[in-house]
Chain A
């Protein structure tokens, strides 16, 4: 069955069942492998993408349910917030093994899109669904504060 999705600004038609999880399509059909498979049940956050600019777990999102919406993956993430997060991640050297970092970055950008200067509680509550098996949480939190600082200087 053909489903047309708008991914990173481009229209993509895929032949898949309506209830196919978006993650399967991204990785297996479109070769957008930056988005990771972690648990498959919305418990770890590794598969996070943006749907209409809001974080969404692609492993439990049926493709038919997001037809016509704007889907952004790590490959298509851009703009001032994304650039600030990328710079902060590099400066603080956040990743260890790196497997969860796609999801962490997507959630961090989603958080900063909504709260431009989050406090520790905002970060903890907004990032609570992204698990890191290397426990880089302290660096993640510091990097989000750093990214917020970068954005504040740009005002």
Chain B
């Protein structure tokens, strides 16, 4: 059998296994899936769309809610996951094979993230790929965004004890410049990007900080 055919066969078998193994989680995942569909069609508005809100506090809140379209997208939440195991795909299934954050955020010895994830996406078929970036890393558990209300995520981002001891400027820099954040708009076959692009997200984050970084 040709290797391409073997790969397709493997994908079919693994897909069937994944559905079989995840049966108990279907209800919760369907909820996430609906939200994801809504986000996928959303448009990310730049800060100009909020310029007519004269009150700084209200404008900052509105700007952060716009950022939430990205922050709560699977491309971000899958690694900012609750618990010790990342999520995977637009359906936000538990990562297969099972891998764990470990203290480093880069997997367990013997099964590090880089055991499978290269510096760039690796396409397997027209609909499947192994995502890649250097570094490929999970944030600490206290930076989890999965199932966390957006107001709490905002407070978490401003809290040095829960944001990696970052200043608010450094948090904005993460949104604006971090290559792993930018990967979200180049996620490889089989994954949807969040709305907009990193430049718009960065501009929103900057405007949010300039307006006082108030939380919704």
CA distance A69 to B47 in the complex (A): 45
The verdict on A65 contacting B14 (CB below 8 Å), with A37-B6, A56-B114, A126-B109 known, is: no
Shortest B106–chain A CB gap in Å is 11
13 interchain pairs, CB-CB under 8 A:
A24-B3, A41-B10, A41-B11, A41-B14, A54-B112, A56-B115, A60-B122, A60-B130, A62-B118, A110-B109, A122-B108, A129-B111, A131-B97
Binding site for B on A (CB under 8 A): 19, 24, 37, 39-43, 45, 48, 54-57, 60-62, 65, 107-108, 110-111, 113-115, 122, 125-129, 131
- Docked-complex contact A65 and B120, CB < 8 angstroms: yes
Cβ-based interface call for B99 (8 A): yes
Q: How far is the CA of A55 from the CA of B115 in the complex (A)?
A: 6
Q: B114 contacts which of A45, A54, A108, A127 (Cβ < 8 Å)?
A: A54
Q: Mark B121-133, 1 if CB is under 8 A from A, else 0.
A: 0111000101000
The dominant DSSP class at the A interface is mixed
Flag whether B116 is at the interface (Cβ < 8 A). Answer: yes
Assess A42 versus B116: contact at CB under 8 Å? Given A110-B110, A128-B99, A129-B97: yes
Question: Bound state CA distance, A61 and B97, in angstroms?
Answer: 17
Q: How many residues of B contact A (CB 8 A)?
A: 28
Contact B110 A125 (CB under 8 A): yes
Do A125 and B11 touch across chains, with their CB atoms under 8 A apart? no
How far is it, in angstroms, between the C-alpha of A122 and the C-alpha of B108 when the chains are bound? 8
Interface residues of B in 50-105 (CB under 8 A from A): 96-100, 102
A41 contacts which of B108, B111, B114, B124 (Cβ < 8 Å)?
B124
* B34 interface residue (CB < 8 Å to A): no
Complex interface bits, B1-22 against A, C-beta within 8 A gives 1, otherwise 0: 0010011001100100000000
Nearest neighbor of B125 in chain A, beta-carbon distance: A41
* Chain B min CB distance to A31 (Å): 16
Contact residue among B110, B114, B123 (Cβ-Cβ distance under 8 Å from A126): B110
